[in-house]
Structure 1
């Protein structure tokens, strides 16, 4: 296990087969700042060396209007205070786009457990996950054009793939914010759970993934995200690798043994 106790923007819990990273900047509604980006990079480096399922979630935020009342927040987007000062060269470095792409390319699946607002960069972080589950409090959208910028950390191309061009354009150009039922209907999220059951649901999904053969999951994820022209050749290569694995023989023999009973 790796020690992540020095992190300040993420709270990380590691288990044998998974890592749970909670974004924890409640004072700024989990705005994604450079510190959080740096910590996500460090976490990705660990998961590239030691592939495990990754769960990403937010935290509880106290209401300014009603002190003592808390609600969930995934991530409200990039830190506007830092974003206001960024210039052309910062944009070309792809501060958020690079780390979100790295998260998307992790060897094992990524689950985004979303409670409350996932806006701007927060939504783009969620799109980078392989699975998105949420609570009925979900609000997801891209307010960037209202701030004089564009959604440059994945939404411009991932949204079209996830929800289709008409809805993507409404989100990107007209500032539409999706609620939980709309996101579920669009399959942008696949499950809705009450806030106190969200993390349990994320771990239940991770349990289902963990029951599969890890190498088969890793290869399936990699093959799935390759461009169409790579298929079917890459499928055949992946299958050839798996056909020689011990897990394939053991799992198939176990299946045959159960069938005999």
Structure 2
């Protein structure tokens, strides 16, 4: 009978995670962000924590919120450092073992934080982020969507419908005179795939934006953005110019926001 109750509890908690059915705004935001990665390796430790809350009085909701915060930070370090799946899963395994072995809360957090790599995380923010691999595309979307969420009050959880595409503001081919006059070839190569040059638009593909000048691109962004509103893209459209100075400024701003979110 006890085993049946545990199975029922696990099933309820698993469904709650999948449906992001949490009242706490901060928890909902973090679960939404993790879900956007398109993998499920992060679910077992979170479900284990919820199961332990249900069967004991060791942990409470505030502990759960702190656990989610600590776990997300360290887990995202692995993603940004482009760790392979088995390396990323180490923090999941450590958290799961600590929870299931009935370690106290502080010990669970310590087990998570031993996998943190602040210096590696910070260095990764200046690396090329964009790669056309499925996992990397999911990561970029998850990061940009998280930054978009952070522009809202915590009580607001935006939902994004339809197809979402990653857009290079400075285009991938340096052919339009507007861009040639503003970026040297080596600057184009260096900045093209950095986070400061990436944004989100709605649609199955972003070929409509192509290699136009910035004014034309903005008009296309505004049209596509009417389908699914991205504050990150609105901010880009508020710029009258897109040169090296604007790109650098946006890049540094996004780095600062991500460090605020995920530095341990």
Superposition TM-score tier, normalisation by shorter sequence: under 0.3
TM-score by length of 2: 0.24
Q: Which structure shows the higher strand fraction?
A: 1
Higher RCO, Cα 8 Å, sep 6+: 2
Q: Which structure shows the higher helix fraction?
A: 2
| Higher Cα radius of gyration | 2
TM-score by length of 1: 0.24
